[in-house]
């Protein structure tokens, strides 16, 4: 039993925030430099605690993944999906990723680029409502 506990502790240690692999950190930094139009528009609304005084980070590494936006207080990830997310393989991957993060208490909500660009108010209302339910 002790051996299993040691393995679990090592696994947790590997994925702790302080131990995020440099390759993931580097990728997150690069993604911050070249946001999509929808990500940039949404970030303008979320940054600086503009939405319900919630602090969001963008391109936040989390458990080996990178979340477009993340609010730690609500344990809420917000993803803005482009056309690539319409493919069957990517959709399946996104679902598995969301389920894994849900097991860790992180809820992921998704919006398409079009939703963000065309219906920003609805997107912000949905984010605010979900965050309020989780705080």
Per-residue pLDDT of the chain (135 residues; tens, 9 = 90+): 444 444 444 444 444 445 678 888 786 888 888 899 999 999 999 999 999 999 999 999 998 899 999 999 999 999 999 877 667 788 898 999 999 999 999 999 999 999 999 999 999 999 999 999 997
**What is the arrangement of strands in the sheet containing 65-71, beginning at the earlier edge strand?**
57-62, 65-71, 76-81, 107-112
Pairing relation of β-strands 76-81 and 107-112? parallel
- Distance CA(120)–CA(24), nearest Å, equals 29
Whole-model pTM: value is 0.80
Tell me which residue of 56, 61, 70 sits closest to 25, measured CA to CA: 61
CATH architecture of 2-134: 3-Layer(aba) Sandwich (3.40)
């Amino acid at each position: 039993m002790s051996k299993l506990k040691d393995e679990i502790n090592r696994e947790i240690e590997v994925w702790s925030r302080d131990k995020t692999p440099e390759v993931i950190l580097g990728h997150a930094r690069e993604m911050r430099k070249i946001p999509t139009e929808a990500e940039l528009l949404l970030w303008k609304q979320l940054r600086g605690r503009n939405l319900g005084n919630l602090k969001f980070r963008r391109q936040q590494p989390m458990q080996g993944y990178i979340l477009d936006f993340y609010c730690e207080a609500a344990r809420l990830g917000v993803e803005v999906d482009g056309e690539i997310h319409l493919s069957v393989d990517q959709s399946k991957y996104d679902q598995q990723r969301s389920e894994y993060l849900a097991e860790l208490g992180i809820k992921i909500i998704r919006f398409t680029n079009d939703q963000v660009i065309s219906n920003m108010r609805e997107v912000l209302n949905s984010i605010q409502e979900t965050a309020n339910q989780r705080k």
